[in-house]
Structure 1
Protein backbone atom coordinates (compact mmCIF):
# COMPACT_ATOMS: atom_id res chain seq x y z
CA UNK A 1 0.00 0.00 0.00
CA UNK A 2 1.27 3.50 -0.84
CA UNK A 3 2.24 5.66 2.11
CA UNK A 4 0.49 9.05 2.35
CA UNK A 5 3.50 10.74 3.92
CA UNK A 6 5.77 9.62 1.08
CA UNK A 7 3.16 10.69 -1.47
CA UNK A 8 3.31 14.15 0.06
CA UNK A 9 7.09 14.21 -0.34
CA UNK A 10 6.70 13.40 -4.03
CA UNK A 11 4.11 16.16 -4.38
CA UNK A 12 6.38 18.60 -2.57
CA UNK A 13 9.18 17.75 -5.00
CA UNK A 14 6.93 18.59 -7.95
CA UNK A 15 5.96 21.91 -6.34
CA UNK A 16 9.33 22.99 -4.92
CA UNK A 17 11.59 21.68 -7.66
CA UNK A 18 14.50 20.16 -5.73
CA UNK A 19 15.07 17.62 -2.99
CA UNK A 20 17.04 20.23 -1.03
CA UNK A 21 14.07 22.62 -1.11
CA UNK A 22 11.74 19.86 0.09
CA UNK A 23 14.12 18.97 2.91
CA UNK A 24 14.47 22.57 4.03
CA UNK A 25 10.72 23.20 3.98
CA UNK A 26 9.87 20.06 5.97
CA UNK A 27 12.90 20.13 8.32
CA UNK A 28 14.45 16.94 6.95
CA UNK A 29 17.87 16.18 5.57
CA UNK A 30 18.11 15.77 1.79
CA UNK A 31 19.28 12.20 2.27
CA UNK A 32 16.19 11.38 4.35
CA UNK A 33 13.92 12.77 1.63
CA UNK A 34 15.78 10.76 -1.03
CA UNK A 35 15.48 7.58 1.03
CA UNK A 36 11.74 8.04 1.51
CA UNK A 37 11.22 8.66 -2.19
CA UNK A 38 13.22 5.52 -2.99
CA UNK A 39 10.92 3.54 -0.69
CA UNK A 40 7.90 5.05 -2.47
CA UNK A 41 9.31 3.89 -5.82
CA UNK A 42 9.58 0.35 -4.47
CA UNK A 43 6.00 0.55 -3.18
CA UNK A 44 4.77 1.83 -6.55
CA UNK A 45 6.76 -0.71 -8.55
CA UNK A 46 7.62 1.82 -11.27
CA UNK A 47 10.27 4.57 -11.64
CA UNK A 48 8.95 7.84 -10.26
CA UNK A 49 12.07 9.98 -10.68
CA UNK A 50 14.71 10.39 -13.35
CA UNK A 51 18.00 12.23 -13.11
CA UNK A 52 18.62 15.25 -15.33
CA UNK A 53 22.17 16.50 -14.76
CA UNK A 54 22.52 17.06 -11.02
CA UNK A 55 18.77 17.31 -10.44
CA UNK A 56 15.84 14.92 -10.57
CA UNK A 57 12.43 15.27 -12.17
CA UNK A 58 9.26 13.25 -12.08
CA UNK A 59 8.65 10.55 -14.67
CA UNK A 60 5.26 10.22 -16.36
CA UNK A 61 4.29 7.68 -13.69
CA UNK A 62 5.46 10.11 -11.02
CA UNK A 63 3.21 12.84 -12.44
CA UNK A 64 0.27 10.42 -12.44
CA UNK A 65 0.89 9.61 -8.80
CA UNK A 66 1.17 13.29 -7.85
CA UNK A 67 -2.25 13.86 -9.41
CA UNK A 68 -3.66 11.34 -6.94
CA UNK A 69 -1.64 12.91 -4.13
CA UNK A 70 -3.34 16.26 -4.89
CA UNK A 71 -6.73 14.61 -4.43
CA UNK A 72 -5.63 12.94 -1.19
CA UNK A 73 -4.35 16.26 0.22
CA UNK A 74 -7.68 17.89 -0.66
CA UNK A 75 -9.50 15.12 1.18
CA UNK A 76 -7.27 15.55 4.23
CA UNK A 77 -8.07 19.28 4.24
CA UNK A 78 -11.77 18.40 4.07
CA UNK A 79 -11.39 15.94 6.94
CA UNK A 80 -9.76 18.63 9.10
CA UNK A 81 -12.57 21.04 8.19
CA UNK A 82 -15.22 18.47 9.15
CA UNK A 83 -13.55 17.84 12.50
CA UNK A 84 -13.30 21.57 13.17
CA UNK A 85 -17.01 22.03 12.44
CA UNK A 86 -17.82 19.45 15.11
CA UNK A 87 -16.27 21.65 17.83
CA UNK A 88 -18.20 24.20 19.85
CA UNK A 89 -15.85 27.12 19.15
CA UNK A 90 -13.51 28.35 16.45
CA UNK A 91 -9.90 27.67 17.38
CA UNK A 92 -6.58 26.53 15.93
CA UNK A 93 -4.15 28.38 13.69
CA UNK A 94 -4.56 30.21 10.39
CA UNK A 95 -1.45 31.28 8.47
CA UNK A 96 -1.90 34.14 6.01
CA UNK A 97 0.25 35.52 3.19
CA UNK A 98 -0.71 39.16 2.66
CA UNK A 99 0.70 41.99 0.57
CA UNK A 100 1.53 45.39 2.03
CA UNK A 101 -1.43 47.58 1.15
CA UNK A 102 -3.93 45.02 2.46
CA UNK A 103 -1.83 44.43 5.57
CA UNK A 104 -1.82 48.14 6.39
CA UNK A 105 -5.45 48.83 5.55
CA UNK A 106 -7.36 45.68 6.53
CA UNK A 107 -5.40 43.48 8.93
CA UNK A 108 -5.56 45.51 12.19
CA UNK A 109 -9.37 45.78 12.19
CA UNK A 110 -9.73 42.14 11.12
CA UNK A 111 -7.47 40.96 13.96
CA UNK A 112 -9.37 43.03 16.51
CA UNK A 113 -12.66 41.48 15.40
CA UNK A 114 -11.21 37.97 15.47
CA UNK A 115 -9.71 38.41 18.94
CA UNK A 116 -13.10 39.51 20.26
CA UNK A 117 -15.19 36.84 18.52
CA UNK A 118 -12.75 33.92 18.59
CA UNK A 119 -10.15 34.36 21.35
CA UNK A 120 -8.78 30.84 20.90
CA UNK A 121 -7.98 31.38 17.22
CA UNK A 122 -4.33 32.09 16.46
CA UNK A 123 -3.60 34.14 13.33
CA UNK A 124 -0.10 34.33 11.86
CA UNK A 125 0.69 36.69 9.00
CA UNK A 126 3.61 36.91 6.57
CA UNK A 127 4.03 39.91 4.28
CA UNK A 128 4.48 38.35 0.87
CA UNK A 129 4.08 39.45 -2.71
CA UNK A 130 0.83 38.26 -4.32
CA UNK A 131 2.75 36.43 -7.03
CA UNK A 132 3.82 33.66 -4.64
CA UNK A 133 0.62 33.33 -2.62
CA UNK A 134 -0.81 30.47 -4.70
CA UNK A 135 2.44 28.51 -4.50
CA UNK A 136 2.52 28.93 -0.70
CA UNK A 137 -1.02 27.59 -0.49
CA UNK A 138 -0.29 24.55 -2.62
CA UNK A 139 2.80 23.71 -0.57
CA UNK A 140 0.80 24.13 2.67
CA UNK A 141 3.11 26.93 3.84
CA UNK A 142 0.04 29.12 4.46
CA UNK A 143 -3.71 28.53 4.76
CA UNK A 144 -4.96 31.72 3.13
CA UNK A 145 -3.38 34.15 0.68
CA UNK A 146 -4.41 37.53 -0.65
CA UNK A 147 -3.93 38.04 -4.36
CA UNK A 148 -4.45 41.02 -6.65
CA UNK A 149 -5.67 41.22 -10.24
CA UNK A 150 -5.21 44.28 -12.42
CA UNK A 151 -7.55 45.31 -15.25
CA UNK A 152 -6.73 43.33 -18.36
CA UNK A 153 -4.24 41.14 -16.46
CA UNK A 154 -6.25 38.09 -15.26
CA UNK A 155 -4.75 35.94 -12.55
CA UNK A 156 -3.84 32.33 -13.26
CA UNK A 157 -6.16 30.06 -11.31
CA UNK A 158 -4.27 26.92 -10.26
CA UNK A 159 -6.47 23.85 -9.78
CA UNK A 160 -7.15 22.95 -6.19
CA UNK A 161 -7.66 26.53 -4.98
CA UNK A 162 -10.84 28.41 -4.10
CA UNK A 163 -11.06 32.16 -4.74
CA UNK A 164 -13.37 34.76 -3.20
CA UNK A 165 -13.43 38.42 -4.16
CA UNK A 166 -12.68 40.69 -1.22
CA UNK A 167 -12.73 44.21 -2.64
CA UNK A 168 -11.96 46.44 -5.60
CA UNK A 169 -9.90 49.57 -5.13
CA UNK A 170 -8.74 52.24 -7.53
CA UNK A 171 -5.20 53.00 -8.61
CA UNK A 172 -3.82 56.54 -8.50
CA UNK A 173 -0.87 58.31 -10.06
CA UNK A 174 1.28 59.81 -7.31
CA UNK A 175 3.32 62.83 -8.42
CA UNK A 176 5.83 65.01 -6.56
CA UNK A 177 4.59 68.31 -5.12
CA UNK A 178 6.39 70.41 -7.76
CA UNK A 179 4.42 68.66 -10.53
CA UNK A 180 1.00 68.77 -8.87
CA UNK A 181 -0.17 72.05 -10.41
CA UNK A 182 0.91 71.09 -13.92
CA UNK A 183 -0.86 67.71 -13.73
CA UNK A 184 -3.99 69.16 -12.12
CA UNK A 185 -4.36 71.72 -14.88
CA UNK A 186 -3.71 69.23 -17.69
CA UNK A 187 -6.05 66.57 -16.30
CA UNK A 188 -8.84 68.83 -15.04
CA UNK A 189 -11.14 68.09 -17.98
CA UNK A 190 -11.97 65.02 -19.97
CA UNK A 191 -8.94 62.77 -20.31
CA UNK A 192 -7.82 59.60 -22.05
CA UNK A 193 -5.02 57.20 -21.23
CA UNK A 194 -2.81 59.04 -23.73
CA UNK A 195 -2.74 62.00 -21.32
CA UNK A 196 -0.52 59.89 -19.08
CA UNK A 197 2.26 60.86 -21.53
CA UNK A 198 2.47 64.15 -19.64
CA UNK A 199 4.73 62.22 -17.26
CA UNK A 200 6.84 60.52 -19.94
CA UNK A 201 9.87 62.69 -19.15
CA UNK A 202 9.79 61.93 -15.41
CA UNK A 203 11.71 59.25 -13.48
CA UNK A 204 9.47 56.47 -12.16
CA UNK A 205 9.60 54.04 -9.25
CA UNK A 206 7.93 50.68 -9.91
CA UNK A 207 7.84 47.14 -8.55
CA UNK A 208 10.69 44.91 -9.76
CA UNK A 209 10.10 42.62 -12.70
CA UNK A 210 8.24 40.30 -13.11
CA UNK A 211 5.72 41.45 -10.46
CA UNK A 212 2.26 42.07 -11.94
CA UNK A 213 2.04 45.76 -10.85
CA UNK A 214 5.19 46.48 -12.89
CA UNK A 215 3.82 44.75 -15.99
CA UNK A 216 0.48 46.50 -15.67
CA UNK A 217 1.93 50.00 -15.28
CA UNK A 218 4.32 49.48 -18.19
CA UNK A 219 1.43 48.36 -20.37
CA UNK A 220 -0.55 51.45 -19.37
CA UNK A 221 2.36 53.68 -20.31
CA UNK A 222 2.83 51.88 -23.63
CA UNK A 223 -0.83 52.58 -24.42
CA UNK A 224 -0.04 56.24 -23.75
CA UNK A 225 2.86 56.06 -26.20
CA UNK A 226 5.94 55.73 -23.98
CA UNK A 227 7.91 53.35 -21.78
CA UNK A 228 8.38 54.71 -18.25
CA UNK A 229 11.91 55.70 -17.24
CA UNK A 230 12.13 53.29 -14.30
CA UNK A 231 15.13 54.45 -12.28
CA UNK A 232 14.07 52.97 -8.96
CA UNK A 233 12.50 49.66 -7.96
CA UNK A 234 10.77 48.60 -4.75
CA UNK A 235 7.91 46.31 -3.75
CA UNK A 236 7.31 48.54 -0.70
CA UNK A 237 4.48 50.98 -1.45
CA UNK A 238 5.52 53.27 1.41
CA UNK A 239 9.06 53.43 0.01
CA UNK A 240 7.64 54.25 -3.41
CA UNK A 241 5.55 56.99 -1.87
CA UNK A 242 8.52 58.42 0.01
CA UNK A 243 10.42 58.77 -3.26
CA UNK A 244 7.43 60.64 -4.73
CA UNK A 245 7.00 62.89 -1.71
CA UNK A 246 10.69 63.82 -1.81
CA UNK A 247 10.38 64.84 -5.46
CA UNK A 248 12.44 62.06 -7.03
CA UNK A 249 9.92 59.90 -8.87
CA UNK A 250 6.39 59.22 -10.11
CA UNK A 251 4.50 56.08 -9.03
CA UNK A 252 1.17 54.31 -9.41
CA UNK A 253 -0.20 53.30 -6.02
CA UNK A 254 -3.33 51.47 -4.74
CA UNK A 255 -6.04 53.55 -3.09
CA UNK A 256 -6.41 50.94 -0.34
CA UNK A 257 -3.29 52.45 1.28
CA UNK A 258 -5.08 55.73 1.96
CA UNK A 259 -7.50 54.20 4.43
CA UNK A 260 -4.77 54.52 7.06
CA UNK A 261 -2.02 56.68 5.55
CA UNK A 262 -2.60 60.21 4.26
CA UNK A 263 0.09 60.94 1.67
CA UNK A 264 1.91 64.22 1.17
CA UNK A 265 2.24 63.46 -2.51
CA UNK A 266 -0.47 64.60 -4.90
CA UNK A 267 -2.73 61.77 -6.07
CA UNK A 268 -4.63 61.77 -9.35
CA UNK A 269 -6.90 59.17 -10.95
CA UNK A 270 -5.26 57.46 -13.91
CA UNK A 271 -6.40 59.37 -17.02
CA UNK A 272 -9.29 57.86 -18.94
CA UNK A 273 -11.93 55.47 -17.66
CA UNK A 274 -11.73 54.40 -13.99
CA UNK A 275 -9.44 51.43 -13.37
CA UNK A 276 -9.81 49.25 -10.29
CA UNK A 277 -7.66 46.51 -8.85
CA UNK A 278 -9.43 43.33 -7.78
CA UNK A 279 -8.32 41.81 -4.46
CA UNK A 280 -9.24 38.20 -3.69
CA UNK A 281 -8.69 35.73 -0.89
CA UNK A 282 -7.46 32.30 -1.94
CA UNK A 283 -7.55 29.07 0.05
CA UNK A 284 -7.11 25.41 -0.73
CA UNK A 285 -10.38 23.99 -2.02
CA UNK A 286 -10.58 21.33 0.68
CA UNK A 287 -10.21 23.86 3.51
CA UNK A 288 -12.69 26.46 2.23
CA UNK A 289 -15.33 25.20 4.67
CA UNK A 290 -13.04 25.19 7.71
CA UNK A 291 -14.60 27.39 10.43
CA UNK A 292 -11.32 29.17 11.15
CA UNK A 293 -10.73 29.93 7.46
CA UNK A 294 -14.29 31.20 7.09
CA UNK A 295 -13.95 33.37 10.19
CA UNK A 296 -10.78 35.01 8.85
CA UNK A 297 -12.34 35.61 5.44
CA UNK A 298 -15.41 37.17 7.06
CA UNK A 299 -13.28 39.40 9.30
CA UNK A 300 -11.23 40.63 6.36
CA UNK A 301 -14.36 41.36 4.38
CA UNK A 302 -15.90 43.27 7.30
CA UNK A 303 -12.78 45.46 7.50
CA UNK A 304 -13.25 46.67 3.91
CA UNK A 305 -15.08 50.02 3.54
CA UNK A 306 -18.55 49.57 2.08
CA UNK A 307 -17.71 51.46 -1.11
CA UNK A 308 -14.89 49.01 -1.91
CA UNK A 309 -16.58 45.81 -0.79
CA UNK A 310 -17.34 43.07 -3.31
CA UNK A 311 -21.02 42.27 -3.66
Structure 2
Protein backbone atom coordinates (compact mmCIF):
# COMPACT_ATOMS: atom_id res chain seq x y z
CA UNK A 1 0.00 0.00 0.00
CA UNK A 2 2.83 2.37 0.90
CA UNK A 3 4.52 1.64 -2.45
CA UNK A 4 1.27 2.38 -4.31
CA UNK A 5 0.86 5.74 -2.55
CA UNK A 6 4.47 6.63 -3.36
CA UNK A 7 3.83 5.84 -7.04
CA UNK A 8 0.74 8.08 -6.95
CA UNK A 9 2.80 10.91 -5.45
CA UNK A 10 5.40 10.64 -8.20
CA UNK A 11 2.72 10.40 -10.90
CA UNK A 12 0.66 13.41 -9.77
CA UNK A 13 3.78 15.38 -8.88
CA UNK A 14 5.18 15.04 -12.39
CA UNK A 15 1.75 15.81 -13.94
CA UNK A 16 1.47 19.01 -11.88
CA UNK A 17 5.00 20.08 -12.84
CA UNK A 18 4.34 19.56 -16.55
CA UNK A 19 0.99 21.36 -16.26
CA UNK A 20 2.65 24.20 -14.37
CA UNK A 21 5.35 24.72 -17.00
CA UNK A 22 2.70 24.80 -19.73
CA UNK A 23 0.44 27.06 -17.66
CA UNK A 24 3.12 29.73 -17.27
CA UNK A 25 2.55 30.69 -20.92
CA UNK A 26 -1.24 31.09 -20.56
CA UNK A 27 -1.87 32.03 -16.92
CA UNK A 28 1.22 32.82 -14.83
CA UNK A 29 -0.56 32.47 -11.49
CA UNK A 30 -2.07 29.12 -12.44
CA UNK A 31 1.33 27.90 -13.62
CA UNK A 32 2.97 28.86 -10.32
CA UNK A 33 0.24 27.10 -8.29
CA UNK A 34 0.65 23.89 -10.29
CA UNK A 35 4.44 24.02 -9.91
CA UNK A 36 4.14 24.47 -6.13
CA UNK A 37 1.68 21.56 -5.95
CA UNK A 38 4.08 19.42 -7.97
CA UNK A 39 7.01 20.19 -5.68
CA UNK A 40 4.79 19.70 -2.63
CA UNK A 41 3.61 16.23 -3.64
CA UNK A 42 6.90 14.80 -4.98
CA UNK A 43 8.56 12.74 -2.20
CA UNK A 44 12.11 14.25 -2.44
CA UNK A 45 10.97 17.88 -2.52
CA UNK A 46 8.35 17.30 0.20
CA UNK A 47 11.02 15.79 2.47
CA UNK A 48 13.13 18.91 1.90
CA UNK A 49 10.10 21.09 2.70
CA UNK A 50 9.35 19.14 5.89
CA UNK A 51 12.99 19.34 6.96
CA UNK A 52 13.23 23.11 6.41
CA UNK A 53 9.87 23.95 8.01
CA UNK A 54 9.94 21.16 10.60
CA UNK A 55 6.34 20.50 9.58
CA UNK A 56 5.49 16.90 8.82
CA UNK A 57 1.84 16.72 7.78
CA UNK A 58 -0.18 13.49 7.98
CA UNK A 59 -1.03 11.83 4.68
CA UNK A 60 -4.66 13.04 4.66
CA UNK A 61 -3.53 16.64 5.23
CA UNK A 62 -1.10 16.43 2.29
CA UNK A 63 -3.80 15.21 -0.08
CA UNK A 64 -6.27 17.77 1.25
CA UNK A 65 -3.72 20.51 0.57
CA UNK A 66 -3.22 19.24 -2.98
CA UNK A 67 -6.98 19.07 -3.64
CA UNK A 68 -7.55 22.60 -2.29
CA UNK A 69 -4.62 23.88 -4.34
CA UNK A 70 -6.00 22.21 -7.47
CA UNK A 71 -9.43 23.83 -6.90
CA UNK A 72 -7.80 27.23 -6.48
CA UNK A 73 -5.75 26.72 -9.66
CA UNK A 74 -8.88 25.70 -11.59
CA UNK A 75 -10.66 28.81 -10.31
CA UNK A 76 -7.82 31.04 -11.50
CA UNK A 77 -7.98 29.38 -14.95
CA UNK A 78 -11.72 30.07 -15.20
CA UNK A 79 -11.22 33.67 -14.07
CA UNK A 80 -8.36 34.17 -16.51
CA UNK A 81 -10.42 32.78 -19.40
CA UNK A 82 -13.42 34.88 -18.41
CA UNK A 83 -11.28 38.02 -18.32
CA UNK A 84 -9.81 37.26 -21.73
CA UNK A 85 -13.26 36.58 -23.18
CA UNK A 86 -14.51 39.89 -21.79
CA UNK A 87 -11.53 41.77 -23.22
CA UNK A 88 -11.98 40.10 -26.60
CA UNK A 89 -15.68 40.98 -26.61
CA UNK A 90 -14.77 44.65 -26.11
CA UNK A 91 -12.29 44.59 -28.99
CA UNK A 92 -14.76 42.84 -31.30
CA UNK A 93 -17.49 45.26 -30.25
CA UNK A 94 -15.22 48.17 -31.17
CA UNK A 95 -14.54 46.56 -34.56
CA UNK A 96 -18.30 46.19 -35.09
CA UNK A 97 -18.79 49.88 -34.27
CA UNK A 98 -16.23 50.81 -36.91
CA UNK A 99 -18.14 48.68 -39.42
CA UNK A 100 -21.37 50.49 -38.54
CA UNK A 101 -19.69 53.79 -39.31
CA UNK A 102 -18.24 52.48 -42.58
CA UNK A 103 -14.62 52.38 -41.34
CA UNK A 104 -13.83 48.87 -42.59
CA UNK A 105 -10.04 49.24 -42.51
CA UNK A 106 -10.12 50.33 -38.85
CA UNK A 107 -12.40 47.39 -38.07
CA UNK A 108 -9.89 45.01 -39.65
CA UNK A 109 -7.13 46.39 -37.40
CA UNK A 110 -9.18 45.57 -34.30
CA UNK A 111 -10.08 42.16 -35.67
CA UNK A 112 -6.41 41.30 -36.18
CA UNK A 113 -5.68 42.49 -32.64
CA UNK A 114 -8.38 40.23 -31.21
CA UNK A 115 -7.19 37.25 -33.28
CA UNK A 116 -3.58 37.60 -32.17
CA UNK A 117 -4.19 38.33 -28.47
CA UNK A 118 -7.27 36.29 -27.67
CA UNK A 119 -7.04 33.20 -29.83
CA UNK A 120 -9.52 30.44 -28.99
CA UNK A 121 -11.59 27.81 -30.76
CA UNK A 122 -14.64 30.11 -30.60
CA UNK A 123 -12.99 33.36 -31.59
CA UNK A 124 -15.67 35.96 -32.32
CA UNK A 125 -13.09 38.00 -34.20
CA UNK A 126 -12.68 35.18 -36.73
CA UNK A 127 -16.46 34.99 -37.17
CA UNK A 128 -16.62 38.74 -37.80
CA UNK A 129 -13.71 38.52 -40.25
CA UNK A 130 -15.52 35.77 -42.16
CA UNK A 131 -18.59 37.98 -42.41
CA UNK A 132 -16.44 40.82 -43.76
CA UNK A 133 -15.26 38.42 -46.46
CA UNK A 134 -18.83 37.38 -47.26
CA UNK A 135 -20.90 40.55 -47.33
CA UNK A 136 -19.51 41.66 -50.71
CA UNK A 137 -19.11 38.17 -52.14
CA UNK A 138 -21.12 37.76 -55.33
CA UNK A 139 -20.72 33.98 -55.15
CA UNK A 140 -22.19 33.89 -51.63
CA UNK A 141 -25.00 36.21 -52.77
CA UNK A 142 -25.81 33.94 -55.72
CA UNK A 143 -25.81 30.83 -53.53
CA UNK A 144 -28.13 32.54 -51.05
CA UNK A 145 -30.47 33.72 -53.81
CA UNK A 146 -30.74 30.16 -55.11
CA UNK A 147 -31.37 28.65 -51.66
CA UNK A 148 -33.98 31.18 -50.46
CA UNK A 149 -37.68 30.36 -50.59
CA UNK A 150 -40.09 32.03 -53.01
CA UNK A 151 -41.57 33.94 -50.07
CA UNK A 152 -38.15 35.27 -49.07
CA UNK A 153 -37.43 36.21 -52.67
CA UNK A 154 -40.66 38.21 -52.85
CA UNK A 155 -39.69 39.96 -49.61
CA UNK A 156 -36.29 40.76 -51.13
CA UNK A 157 -37.84 42.31 -54.22
CA UNK A 158 -40.21 44.38 -52.06
CA UNK A 159 -37.49 45.53 -49.63
CA UNK A 160 -39.14 43.57 -46.81
CA UNK A 161 -36.50 40.91 -46.24
CA UNK A 162 -35.27 40.98 -42.62
CA UNK A 163 -33.61 37.58 -42.36
CA UNK A 164 -30.14 37.59 -40.76
CA UNK A 165 -27.70 35.99 -43.19
CA UNK A 166 -24.86 37.70 -41.32
CA UNK A 167 -24.90 38.42 -37.58
CA UNK A 168 -23.39 41.92 -37.95
CA UNK A 169 -26.39 44.12 -38.78
CA UNK A 170 -24.64 46.64 -41.05
CA UNK A 171 -22.97 43.88 -43.04
CA UNK A 172 -26.26 41.97 -43.26
CA UNK A 173 -28.02 45.09 -44.60
CA UNK A 174 -25.36 45.61 -47.27
CA UNK A 175 -25.43 41.92 -48.16
CA UNK A 176 -29.21 42.02 -48.69
CA UNK A 177 -28.70 45.10 -50.87
CA UNK A 178 -26.15 43.16 -52.94
CA UNK A 179 -28.63 40.32 -53.42
CA UNK A 180 -31.28 42.85 -54.48
CA UNK A 181 -29.04 43.98 -57.38
CA UNK A 182 -28.74 40.36 -58.52
CA UNK A 183 -32.41 39.46 -58.01
CA UNK A 184 -33.42 40.02 -61.69
CA UNK A 185 -30.85 37.39 -62.68
CA UNK A 186 -32.09 34.75 -60.20
CA UNK A 187 -33.42 32.29 -62.79
CA UNK A 188 -30.21 32.58 -64.79
CA UNK A 189 -28.14 32.14 -61.63
CA UNK A 190 -30.14 29.03 -60.66
CA UNK A 191 -29.39 27.54 -64.06
CA UNK A 192 -25.70 28.49 -63.89
CA UNK A 193 -25.29 26.98 -60.42
CA UNK A 194 -27.12 23.81 -61.47
CA UNK A 195 -24.79 23.49 -64.46
CA UNK A 196 -21.78 24.17 -62.25
CA UNK A 197 -22.86 21.48 -59.78
CA UNK A 198 -23.38 19.04 -62.63
CA UNK A 199 -19.91 19.80 -63.99
CA UNK A 200 -18.45 19.34 -60.51
CA UNK A 201 -20.30 16.01 -60.19
CA UNK A 202 -18.94 14.83 -63.55
CA UNK A 203 -15.46 16.01 -62.57
CA UNK A 204 -15.68 14.08 -59.29
CA UNK A 205 -16.79 10.94 -61.10
CA UNK A 206 -13.99 11.28 -63.66
CA UNK A 207 -11.46 11.81 -60.89
CA UNK A 208 -12.79 8.77 -59.01
CA UNK A 209 -12.57 6.70 -62.20
CA UNK A 210 -9.04 7.97 -62.84
CA UNK A 211 -7.94 6.99 -59.34
CA UNK A 212 -9.63 3.61 -59.70
CA UNK A 213 -7.86 2.96 -63.01
CA UNK A 214 -4.61 4.18 -61.51
CA UNK A 215 -5.01 1.68 -58.68
CA UNK A 216 -5.82 -1.10 -61.17
CA UNK A 217 -2.73 -0.23 -63.22
CA UNK A 218 -0.60 -0.14 -60.09
CA UNK A 219 -1.86 -3.54 -58.97
CA UNK A 220 -1.40 -4.93 -62.48
CA UNK A 221 2.17 -3.65 -62.64
CA UNK A 222 2.93 -5.18 -59.24
CA UNK A 223 1.41 -8.52 -60.29
CA UNK A 224 3.43 -8.54 -63.51
CA UNK A 225 6.68 -7.69 -61.71
CA UNK A 226 6.06 -10.45 -59.17
CA UNK A 227 6.50 -12.99 -62.00
CA UNK A 228 10.16 -12.08 -62.32
CA UNK A 229 12.97 -12.99 -59.98
CA UNK A 230 13.91 -10.25 -57.52
CA UNK A 231 17.44 -11.72 -57.58
CA UNK A 232 18.39 -11.51 -61.27
CA UNK A 233 15.19 -10.41 -63.07
CA UNK A 234 14.67 -13.72 -64.86
CA UNK A 235 11.33 -15.33 -65.60
CA UNK A 236 11.51 -18.65 -63.68
CA UNK A 237 9.27 -20.79 -65.92
CA UNK A 238 10.78 -19.49 -69.17
CA UNK A 239 14.31 -19.91 -67.82
CA UNK A 240 13.47 -23.47 -66.76
CA UNK A 241 12.14 -24.24 -70.25
CA UNK A 242 15.25 -22.82 -71.92
CA UNK A 243 17.53 -24.69 -69.53
CA UNK A 244 15.77 -28.03 -70.15
CA UNK A 245 16.25 -27.60 -73.90
CA UNK A 246 20.00 -26.82 -73.69
CA UNK A 247 22.56 -29.48 -74.78
CA UNK A 248 24.03 -29.24 -71.31
CA UNK A 249 21.40 -27.88 -68.91
CA UNK A 250 24.04 -27.41 -66.19
CA UNK A 251 25.85 -24.90 -68.41
CA UNK A 252 22.84 -22.53 -68.58
CA UNK A 253 23.47 -19.05 -67.25
CA UNK A 254 20.98 -16.19 -67.27
CA UNK A 255 22.27 -12.85 -68.58
CA UNK A 256 19.26 -10.53 -68.68
CA UNK A 257 15.50 -10.47 -69.17
CA UNK A 258 13.31 -7.68 -70.53
CA UNK A 259 9.54 -7.61 -70.79
CA UNK A 260 6.52 -5.52 -71.70
CA UNK A 261 2.84 -5.75 -70.83
CA UNK A 262 0.91 -6.27 -74.07
CA UNK A 263 -2.50 -6.28 -72.40
CA UNK A 264 -3.60 -9.86 -73.02
CA UNK A 265 -0.17 -11.32 -72.34
CA UNK A 266 3.39 -10.40 -71.36
CA UNK A 267 6.12 -10.36 -73.99
CA UNK A 268 9.42 -11.59 -72.52
CA UNK A 269 12.93 -11.63 -74.02
CA UNK A 270 15.60 -13.61 -72.18
CA UNK A 271 19.28 -13.47 -73.03
CA UNK A 272 21.45 -16.35 -71.77
CA UNK A 273 24.68 -18.27 -72.25
CA UNK A 274 25.04 -22.02 -72.59
CA UNK A 275 27.43 -24.68 -73.91
CA UNK A 276 27.22 -25.27 -77.67
CA UNK A 277 27.86 -28.45 -79.66
CA UNK A 278 31.62 -27.79 -79.83
CA UNK A 279 32.06 -27.57 -76.07
CA UNK A 280 32.35 -23.80 -76.04
CA UNK A 281 29.98 -21.21 -74.59
CA UNK A 282 27.62 -19.25 -76.79
CA UNK A 283 25.05 -16.53 -76.18
CA UNK A 284 21.43 -17.10 -77.11
CA UNK A 285 18.14 -15.26 -76.93
CA UNK A 286 14.55 -16.44 -76.58
CA UNK A 287 11.42 -14.33 -76.89
CA UNK A 288 8.11 -15.67 -75.64
CA UNK A 289 4.62 -14.77 -74.58
CA UNK A 290 3.53 -15.67 -71.05
CA UNK A 291 0.21 -15.30 -69.27
CA UNK A 292 -0.43 -13.45 -66.00
CA UNK A 293 -0.01 -16.63 -64.00
CA UNK A 294 3.54 -17.03 -65.31
CA UNK A 295 2.82 -19.85 -67.77
CA UNK A 296 4.64 -19.82 -71.11
CA UNK A 297 2.03 -19.53 -73.86
CA UNK A 298 4.25 -19.40 -76.93
CA UNK A 299 7.90 -19.26 -77.96
CA UNK A 300 7.96 -16.43 -80.49
CA UNK A 301 11.61 -16.67 -81.57
CA UNK A 302 14.85 -18.30 -80.58
CA UNK A 303 18.37 -17.32 -81.62
Same fold (TM over 0.5): no
More strand by share: 1
Shorter-chain TM-score: which interval? under 0.3
Normalised TM-score (structure 1) = 0.21
Higher Rg of the two aligned structures:
2
Q: Bigger relative contact order, structure 1 or 2, given CA contacts below 8 A and separation 6+?
A: 1
More helix by share: 2
